[in-house]
Structures are given as structure tokens and as C-alpha cells.
Structure 1
Amino acid sequence: MAKKKLNNLSDLGGFVFSTNKEEDFSSLSEESTEILDAKDQQLEAHFSNKGRGGKTVTVISGFIGPSSDLKSLAKLLKTKCSVGGSVKDGEIIIQGKHRDKIMTILQKEGYQVKRVGG
């Protein structure tokens, strides 16, 4: 297999090379994630059983913010509903049909929640 020829710096995939030992690269290393207040969040709550062996889950999507906040919100919902769940691909997945209860909990926390689907 032949090696790919590099035509410009973007072909390096985001690497930064420098011979200057005093260069500060800390500002380049971390991407800033947008943080919104709970009242500015537009969350969607819907049911799903696709790819889950026929088991129904409640999916909360649309959260914008750091993954640590998403995980803490998921933990709150799992605790209040007394069920299991997980966080995958920026969505909170709660086991079972708990959409109305979850919407009530999120609204008490200050989130705007939209009911999606039947």
C-alpha cells in the first residue's frame, strides 16, 4: 500500500508542530463547549424500542452542555423514576415508559420539554 502524499498542513489532521520550546499550546488543546441555562434548553422526550429487542425506553434528546451535566441529569431522572438507564450519543435513555413523569421532573428543574410522538 502506498503512502498518502501530504499536500498541505490540514492533511496532518490537526497536529501542530513547533521547534519553539516556549510556545503555549494550551489555548489550542481544549474546545469550548456551549453551556446553556436550564430555562434555555429545548429538550425532546419520546418513546423508542428500535434496536432494543422490543423493550420500550424513554429517550431525552437536545441537551446542550458538558457531558458531566448530562450524566448528572440522567442520574437524577433514573433516581426519581427508580429505573435504569444510560447516556449515549448525547441522549439520555431511561428504561420503560416514563415520559410524562420525566417531563414533569424536567419542568420542575427548569427545562423546557417538548413531547414528541404518540
Structure 2
Amino acid sequence: MAGNKISLADWQAQLNPQGSNTAVKTAVKDDANLVYSTEGGKIVAKAPAKAVAEAFADGAVRIRRETKGRGGKAVLTISGIAKPHDELVLLAAKLKKKCACGGAVKDGIIEIQGDKRMLVEQLLQAEGFKTKWAGG
């Protein structure tokens, strides 16, 4: 039995005659949840790109007053502005300053805290948007 001993390198060469460990490399490249690889070290995940909001067919911006799921507090949601996320953030900042309230941009929808429909409508029309009230 002592004569049958082989080195680890010889054993790996017998398993994979091409000389490279392609089975391990393809498994590493196919794994989307990989955090660390012995080949390249720490794997940095790429951040998904922010989506551009979609406009409605009639081209109007919808202003909706919502209270559901917000503890009875009124929030205006403004949807239908087909601009990149960065431009929506700038527009939301303008609206928040003019309305003297808080808000956010989530999934291409601008949220303004409080019920200031008339003021928001005037500001959006001054920016050149055609507006419509939606909901109740």
C-alpha cells in the first residue's frame, strides 16, 4: 500500500486532466449571493440603478391625498412625473420648502406631508406640469 501513495497535485490532475479547476471556477461565477472568493477576495455587490418614474398616458401628474396606513395623517402623493430619481429629489425639495413640510421620494412617487393640495397644484403648474386630483 505504501507504493500507491500519490501527491495531492497528482490526484487533482487525474480528476481534471485540463490542468485547471474549471468546475470550481464556474460554480463561483454562477453564485449570485457570493460574498468572498479565494480567487479575488471580497466581492462587492453592484447597487441596482434607480428606476425612472413612468408618466400617465394623458401626460397629467396625479395629486392624491392618502391617509390609509399612516396613522390618520394626511399625505399627498404626486405620481406620473417621468424624470430620473435625482430630478425627482430636487423637485421634492422645492415643494417641501414652499409648503414648509416634510416629504420623501419613494419608487418614483413624491410624498408631501400634510394636506396642501391647492399649494402643491399651483407650484407644479408653475413648473409646467398639467395636474389632476386623484382619489378622495
TM-score interval for Structure 1 and Structure 2 normalised by the shorter chain: 0.5 to 0.7
Give 1:25-40 correspondences, 5 Å limit: none
Shift of 1:46: 1.1
1:70, 1:43 → 2: CA distance? Answer: 13
TM-score by length of 1: 0.65
CA displacement 1:52-89 (0-9 Å, x = unmatched): 11111111011112101100010010000000001111
Over 3 Å off, 4+ runs: none
Indicate whether 1:52 and 2:102 are aligned. Answer: no
Q: What is the identity percentage for the equivalent residue pairs of Structure 1 and Structure 2?
A: 44
Cα distance in structure 2, aligned partners of 1:97 and 1:111: 19
Residue ranges of structure 1 left out of the alignment (5+ in a row): 1-11, 13-29
Q: How many residues align?
A: 89
Aligned match of 1:87? 105
State the match for 2:116 in structure 1: 98
Task: Please state how far the C-alpha of 1:41 moved relative to its aligned partner.
Answer: 4.8
Kept after mapping to 2: 8 A contact 1:46/1:117:
yes
**Higher alpha-carbon Rg:** 2
Residue equivalent to 1:115: 133
SS of structure 1 residue aligned to 2:120: helix
Q: Find the aligned partners of 1:41 and 1:84 in 2 and give their Cα distance.
A: 26
TM-score after normalising by structure 2 = 0.57
CA RMSD of aligned residues (A): 2.9
* Structure 2: gaps of 5 or more residues: 1-29, 31-48
Q: Is the 8 A contact 1:58 1:97 kept in 2?
A: yes
Which structure has more relative contact order (CA 8 Å, sep 6+)? It is: 1
2:94 to 64, 76, 82: 76
